[in-house]
Amino acid sequence: MDSGDLETEFAWIKEQERLQTIQSNYPRESMDKISIKYIYINQNKYISKILCEVLPIVNSAISQEQILHLIKKYNFQTPTSKYKLKDILLFNITLEPEHVQTYAKNDDFIDFSSPFLKVLSILDKITIPESIFIFHEINTLYFIFQEMEIQLTGSRIKSILKKEPEVIVREPEKNKKTKKVRISIGNKPVHINKISTHGTRRNRNP
C-alpha cells in the first residue's frame, strides 16, 4: 500500500471516530469552502443545464464583489434568449450536535425545507453559518437562472444603390416633320428621332 492509500485510509478512520463521538466532541464549525450549483431553467420551466463548482470561503462569508463576478461569469445567452438571475438560495444545515440523533429518528422534528433553505439577496454579502462537519459537503449555494426571450427589433436595410430617376427633356422642334426627344438615364443620354404626326399639307388650286 503506497502513501496515498495510507492517507486515504487514515482519513476514513479519523472520520469514523469523529462520527462516533459527534454528540459530545464536535460542535458546529465554520466552513472553508462550499459547493455551488448553477441551475438554468428554460422558457418551458424545465432545467436545461446544471453547472457545479467549489468556492473557497474567507471569514465565513462571500463578498458582494464575488457574487457579482459569479453572476457575470455564469450568465449566458443564446441567439434568441438570455438567462437572467432569478434567485440565490442557500441550503445550510445548522443543527446542534445534540439534536442530530433526534432529527434523524423523527421526520417531524423539524421542517427540513423551512430552516435550512433560505432565499438570499444579491445586494449583500453572503454569510455562511457554522454547521457540524458532517454537513459541510451537503451545504450548498444555488444560483437559479431563468431564460428570458430577447425582443429582436427588425431594422430595414436600405440599399446602397440609388436608382436614378428618368428625366425626359424635350428639345424645341426644328421643323414640322421631325422632333428630337432625349431621354436621360443616369449619365448617358439617348437620342431618339420621332416622326412628327403633323404632315405638310400643300395648297391646291380650286
Cβ(185)–Cβ(165) under 8 Å?
no
102-141: pLDDT as tens digits: 766 665 544 545 678 899 988 889 999 999 888 899 999 9
Instruction: Please write down the long-range contacts of 63-69, taking CB distance under 8 Å and 24 or more positions apart.
Output: 63/125, 64/122, 64/123, 64/124, 64/125, 67/122, 67/125, 67/126, 68/122
| Boundaries of every domain in the chain | 18-149, 165-197
Averages of pLDDT over each 10 residues, the chain, 206 residues: 62 64 70 96 94 94 94 90 94 82 60 74 90 90 94 54 52 54 52 49 48
178-194: pLDDT as tens digits: 555 555 555 555 555 54
pTM: predicted TM-score of the whole model, two decimal places: 0.61
